[in-house]
């Protein structure tokens, strides 16, 4: 049913559909929300954040055009669900979260599921350590008022970045940026709503 509803909404990449089917979303939602885990809606998680709606996760993953050998960066781990889906499709995922509680919980979940190619880092996605290197794909799952140039510079040649861009409170546009030989190519995809990307690590747990 889950796959069928994603297909109906236009997701056609078989590998993406398989990954969505494989990752148990009920493990990533709050205990009281398990029965709603396969509904197509965003749900609240700890620290006042949200796990995105399955269609948006599938859509962003498809638009990212992930490949088996790719090294991927995610900004905004949240529950770890998007990272889990990507881990089924790529070689390595580094995901960064500014709430320590969320990072720790997501790390434990991903380990328990045996998704060993995901590294969860507690930190600020606006300040990626240089030692992390560059990435074939970057996915931002929190709303940015604009995409920092320093982030675009972390894309490998022909790399792709996807991010919700727009006001923190309101509707954003999902933007896909591709690194080309001459610079960056930008395409606006669809309207979305994400929680804001905030600078610095969270002071609260």
* Residues belonging to the active site: 52
* Residue 38: CA count within 13 A, CB half-sphere: 12
- CB-wise, 17 or 144, nearer to ligand SAH? 144
- CB-wise, 20 or 142, nearer to ligand SAH? 142
Smallest CA-to-CA distance from 178 within 189, 167, 165, 162 is with 162
- CB-wise, 66 or 76, nearer to ligand SAH? 76
11 binds ligand SAH (CB under 6 A): no
75 binds ligand SAH (CB under 6 A): yes
Tell me the window of 9-17, 43-51, 59-67, 156-164 that interacts with ligand SAH (CB under 6 A): 43-51
166 binds ligand SAH (CB under 6 A): no
Single residue of 81, 159, 162, 165 touching ligand SAH by CB under 6 A: 81
Smallest CA-to-CA distance from 176 within 168, 150, 165 is with 165
The residue behind tokens 């940026």 is 177
The interface with ligand SAH within residues 112-141 (CB under 6 A) comprises 124-126, 141
User: What kind and span of H or E run contains 175?
Assistant: strand 172-179
Tokens of 111: 């380990």
Q: Which residues contact 123 (CB under 8 A, 6 or more apart)?
A: 96, 97, 98, 129, 201
Q: Give me the least distance between CB of 171 and ligand SAH, in Å please.
A: 16
Q: What are phi and psi of 141, to 5 degrees?
A: -115, 30
Single residue of 20, 37, 64, 76 touching ligand SAH by CB under 6 A: 76
154 binds ligand SAH (CB under 6 A): no
């Amino acid at each position: 049913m889950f796959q069928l509803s994603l297909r109906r909404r236009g997701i056609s990449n078989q590998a993406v559909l398989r990954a969505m089917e494989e990752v148990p979303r009920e493990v990533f939602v709050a205990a009281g929300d398990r029965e709603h885990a396969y509904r197509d809606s965003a749900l609240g998680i700890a620290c006042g954040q949200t796990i995105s709606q399955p269609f948006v996760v599938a859509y962003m993953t498809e638009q990212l055009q992930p490949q088996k050998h790719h090294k991927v960066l995610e900004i905004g781990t949240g529950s770890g669900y998007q990272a889990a889906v990507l881990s089924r499709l790529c070689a390595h995922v580094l995901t960064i979260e500014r709430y320590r509680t969320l990072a720790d919980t997501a790390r434990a979940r991903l380990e328990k599921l045996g998704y060993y190619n995901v590294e969860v880092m507690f930190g600020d996605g606006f300040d990626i350590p240089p030692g992390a290197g560059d990435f074939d794909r970057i996915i931002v799952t929190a709303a940015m008022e604009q995409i920092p140039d320093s982030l675009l510079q972390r894309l490998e040649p022909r790399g792709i970045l996807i991010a919700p861009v727009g006001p923190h409170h309101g509707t954003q546009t999902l933007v896909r940026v591709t690194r080309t030989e001459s610079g960056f190519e930008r395409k606006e995809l669809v309207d979305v709503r994400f929680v804001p990307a905030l600078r610095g690590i969270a002071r609260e747990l």
